[in-house]
Structure 1
Amino acid sequence: MEDGEFERAPSHFTDRIGTGDWPLEAGRYRLVVSRACPWASRAVIVRRLLGLESALSMAVADPIQDSRSWRFTLDPGDRDPVLGIRYLGEAYAARDASYSGGISVPAIVDVPSGRLVTNDYPEITLNLELEWAPLHRPGAPSLYPEALRDEIDAVNEDVFRDVNNGVYMAGFATRQRAYSRVVARLFARLDALESRLSSQRYLVGDTITEADIRLWVTLVRFDVVYHGHFKCNRRKITEYPALWAYSRDLFQTPGFGDTVNFDHIARHYYEVHRNINPTGIVPIGPDLSLWLTPHGREELGGRPFGDGTPPGPVAEGEEVPSVAAAA
């Protein structure tokens, strides 16, 4: 933008599975993610909490992109074993050969045709929570309860503008005034969230909701990359008593920390964004073992999964490195 502010491009493919040309069928679709990406991490967490692993397979892209963007070099033969493609862009081209925009994750691909269905990251989790309900596991929590949707939507709007997207606006700002403006908004919002979470365990109601997932994916990356790499360095999350305890509480909740790969996160940001970090050097810190320290949030009450139950063990082949090794 003219004043030096970063502007996020809107999602181009916005279809919803379970409507229109895309019927809900277990095993038909594949979720493509990067564990580095916060927008994709939302979908990974929701899929796990709702027990959709057997209904919706998942492809994990290499955190290091090349000129063709997200690639499947973590898989044998550098191809996704289900879709048979080397780059996510091939699924975009199968959907629209004339498309010349960005290739983003999360993305859901129709396996039989190899065509992209959606890259609409704000709506993918809601789609999984609503239209995919017939395929949820027994005991799946209600992450977007109807009675709380207005409040959840309002919280999400503030968090997206000032926090989720705010860190990117700070990191990619090209003028001092633009950077200073968005950083001020970011930390004003974090201060407000610190106050809100000082007296309640979760953002909306007494259970985990979509609002918590959307905030947490930024908090878990904050001290690792956003504080230094994106110059969001007024305070670390570890310096906010409530936000830090809240972050650890969720990290230690099944479905959250067991989806996080800090190595992918750090290497992606520091190695890919050469306009910000020309050397590509990846910092060695912070101490990841602190994520496993007691948080004390149980004293605030709350029922993490409401009337539901925790998810089962992580699916075979989807495990992530444990931060316990850093202890």
Structure 2
Amino acid sequence: MSITPLAAVPSARRAAPVFRGRIGRDPRSGHYAVPHRYRLHLSTACPDGLRLAVGHSLLGLDTSCPVTLLPPVPDRPGGGHSALRPLYEASAHHYTGPALAPVLSDDWSGRIVSTHTPDILRDLDRFGPGDRARLYPTGLESVIEAVERMCAEGIEEAAQRAGRAGADPAERAAALDTLLDTLGRLERRLSGEEYLADDRLTAADVELWVTLVQLDTVHRCHLDASAVHRIADHRALWAYARRLAARPAFGRHLDLDGIARRHHGRCQGLEAAGAAVQILDWAGHAADTPDASRR
């Protein structure tokens, strides 16, 4: 696999640089897959951090790639974490921006490998034990990428636009239509199916589950009650979310209080009637976990 050298890539989505180092199999790359070398730094109150925490558990990497948990609300002005500053300063010359999570670091060098969640999860997929099913199985890449786009554009972005304070009512209605259409397509895909792709648990399920958590715990707070009831009416989709929440690899990482604190610390929108219409009892389903052998 080709290796992208460690580099800081500017991003319009965040104030800090995005590091896009990759972990490969060739020792000459500088970053190769070896146990106990790399470390994840994340907050499970953050969607990207939750994605990585779930994927990390599914891959059985607790001992070979340790995780450092960060608080839900960053402790530095500008949104950074004090614990990550040494990594950023070692990785970017004269760095003065925010030290943001999640981060995959190299304990050997004390530097950042990557801050790009999709790359990190794909690279971690090679760390798992040989008998562990992969999150990105060969032949399903296009399906997983399609689900990632649907979650980002059809759910996350559409829900944000549908609940945006001060937006034109027609724009909000169009965004809600996009959201409901995306949920409807996923509902039809999951009717009678346990997973999204090839009857197996993949990164597509991790992506959708985290997106549904955000939809119910964050975005519905800015929607009216009627919209939330229409969202909740996708029964197969929410039954799927409930099943996954009851698995330890998913449910044990839910930090509902942290998600709420992070949301209130970042959000400047107005709360709407939908805030009172919870779709799932996430805490109850997460507590109802089967034994770890079913992860």
Please state which band the TM-score falls in when normalised by the shorter chain: 0.7 to 0.9
Match of 2:8 in 1: none
When residues 211 and 258 of structure 1 are mapped into structure 2, their CA distance, relative to the original with a 3 A threshold, is: same
Give, in whole Å, the separation in 2 of the partners of 1:187 and 1:209.
24
When residues 214 and 192 of structure 1 are mapped into structure 2, their CA distance, relative to the original with a 3 A threshold, is: same
Tell me, yes or no, if the aligned pair for 1:27 and 1:54 is still in contact at 8 Å: yes
1:97 is displaced (CA, Å) by 2.8
Q: Which has the higher contact order (CA 8 A, sep 6+)?
A: 1
Q: Note if 1:39 corresponds to 2:44.
A: no
TM-score with structure 1 setting the length: 0.71
Tell me, yes or no, if the aligned pair for 1:30 and 1:110 is still in contact at 8 Å: yes
Match of 1:142 in 2: 134
SS of aligned partner of 1:30? strand
Match of 1:154 in 2: 146
Tell me, yes or no, if the aligned pair for 2:242 and 2:282 is still in contact at 8 Å: no
Give, in whole Å, the separation in 2 of the partners of 1:126 and 1:231.
37
SS of aligned partner of 2:72? coil
- Let me know the Cα RMSD of the aligned residues: 3.2
1:17 is displaced (CA, Å) by 1.9
When residues 144 and 276 of structure 1 are mapped into structure 2, their CA distance, relative to the original with a 3 A threshold, is: same
The structure 2 residue matched to 1:215, chosen from 194, 208, 230, is 208
TM-score with structure 2 setting the length: 0.78
The structure 2 residue matched to 1:195, chosen from 188, 194, 200, is 188
2:85 partner letter: G
When residues 288 and 213 of structure 1 are mapped into structure 2, their CA distance, relative to the original with a 3 A threshold, is: closer
1:180 is displaced (CA, Å) by 4.5
Match of 2:20 in 1: 14
The structure 1 residue matched to 2:176, chosen from 179, 183, 207, is 183
Aligned sequence identity (%):
30
Q: Note if 1:267 corresponds to 2:261.
A: yes
2:181 partner letter: A
The structure 2 residue matched to 1:228, chosen from 211, 215, 221, is 221
Match of 2:113 in 1: 117
When residues 149 and 68 of structure 1 are mapped into structure 2, their CA distance, relative to the original with a 3 A threshold, is: same
SS of aligned partner of 2:39? strand
What count of residue pairs does the alignment treat as equivalent? Answer: 269
Q: Structure 2: state its 5+ residue gaps.
A: 1-11
2:148 partner letter: N
1:154 partner letter: A
Deviations 1:166-213 (CA, angstroms, capped at 9, x unpaired): 444556677436555443322221121112211322111101111110
Give, in whole Å, the separation in 2 of the partners of 1:275 and 1:255.
32
Tell me, yes or no, if the aligned pair for 2:228 and 2:277 is still in contact at 8 Å: no
Stretch moving more, 146-155 or 45-54: 146-155
Give, in whole Å, the separation in 1 of the partners of 2:277 and 2:225.
18
Give, in whole Å, the separation in 2 of the partners of 1:92 and 1:41.
21
When residues 15 and 162 of structure 1 are mapped into structure 2, their CA distance, relative to the original with a 3 A threshold, is: same
1:42 partner letter: R
Give, in whole Å, the separation in 1 of the partners of 2:286 and 2:136.
28
When residues 231 and 175 of structure 1 are mapped into structure 2, their CA distance, relative to the original with a 3 A threshold, is: same
SS of aligned partner of 2:215? helix
Give, in whole Å, the separation in 2 of the partners of 1:88 and 1:57.
15
Give, in whole Å, the separation in 1 of the partners of 2:140 and 2:68.
32
Give, in whole Å, the separation in 2 of the partners of 1:233 and 1:113.
53
Give, in whole Å, the separation in 2 of the partners of 1:167 and 1:21.
41
When residues 231 and 283 of structure 1 are mapped into structure 2, their CA distance, relative to the original with a 3 A threshold, is: closer
Match of 1:306 in 2: none
SS of aligned partner of 1:146? coil
